[in-house]
Structure 1
Amino acid sequence: MIAETICSAVSAAGLGIAAVTAYRKRFLAAARIAAYSLVPVALVMTGIVGWLADTAFSPTAWAGFVLLGGAWLLFATTRAVERRRGGTRKERRAAARAAREDAVAPAASAPSLGPAARQSGPPATRPAAPPAAAPRGQDDFSDIEAILKKHGI
């Protein structure tokens, strides 16, 4: 009962402010204020305010909110632990299995393939190192010098 009275008073005050705003020739703002001030009365008429008032003063409803909060806290904690460990147990097992399969080098089984599978010719060597460029410090200073000359410094 008190919630409905408060909502009606807020709506009446809002409509009064809208009337003063319209008197000052600000009709668009007055219409917007009137729209906002009609919302509390509409909520009372639909019964939402009564339902919220009953919920706010109900110990059973508050116990339900506490249980919902506890469930959310458990979900958040388990997700944080999963992220810290690196996924669920099933994902960790799959990753460990893949790591064991990849542990064997592909060339390790080449000798067991027999003489026909072996490559003939010299073993592969590393490519030659690229030609040595000028020291890095000299390149940096030449770029800086070019910029300074460009600006006349």
Structure 2
Amino acid sequence: MLAETVCSAVSAAGLGLAAVTAYRKRFLTAARIAGYALVPVGLVLTGAVAWLARTAFSPAAWTGFGLLGAAWLLFLITRAVERRRGGSTRAERRAARSAGREAVAPGASAPSLGGGAGPAARPAGKRPATEPADDFSDIEAILKKHGI
């Protein structure tokens, strides 16, 4: 009963503020304030305020919230311990997968991501970037050109 009265008072004050704002020719702001002012009355009429008041003053509800918090805390602690320990089931799964791959073809190499372009498939004007001697010779040529 008290919560409904407070919500009604807040809505009335908000609508009064919206009226003053509209009087000052700020209609868009007044409409926005009126929208916010109608929310508490809408919550009262839907019964959400009564439900919230019953929940807020219920010892059973607070016990339930406490148990949910304790469960969340236990999940958090066990996950932190599992990460610190390092012997998680995820690591064991990775080891099993890698062992399975090696058992299928022990002599096979890992697939390349280069797309299969060998030296013959490169354009004639481009040099491979993997040769550091060519890179330094280009730099030396530039420096000699400028007299350094």
Same fold (TM over 0.5): yes
Give % identity: 63
Greater Cα radius of gyration, structure 1 or 2: 1
Counterpart of 1:110?
none
In structure 1, stretches of 5+ residues that fail to align are 107-129
Aligned equivalents of 1:131 and 1:18: distance in 2? 74
- Under a length normalisation based on structure 1, what TM-score does the superposition of the two structures give? 0.62
Letter paired with 2:17: I
Give the 3-state SS of the residue equivalent to 2:25 in structure 1. coil
Q: CA deviation at 1:4?
A: 0.6
Q: Identify the residue that residue 32 of structure 1 maps to in structure 2.
A: 32
**1:9-53 deviations in whole A, cap 9, x for unaligned?**
100000000000000011111011001000001100111001101
Shift of residue 83, structure 1, vs aligned partner: 3.2
Spell out, residue by residue over 1:37-70, the C-alpha distance to the aligned partner (whole angstroms, 9 max, x if none): 0000110011100110111011000000000111
Count the aligned residue pairs: 122
Which residue type is aligned with residue 95 of structure 1?
R
**Superposed counterparts of 1:13-28, under 5 Å:** 13-28=13-28
Deviation at 1:97, TM superposition (A): 3.9
Asked whether 1:93 is paired with 2:92, we answer: yes
1:7 deviates by 0.4
The alpha-carbon deviation at position 75 of structure 1 amounts to 1.7
Aligned Cα RMSD in Å?
3.6
TM norm structure 2: 0.64
Structure 2, unpaired ranges of 5+:
108-129
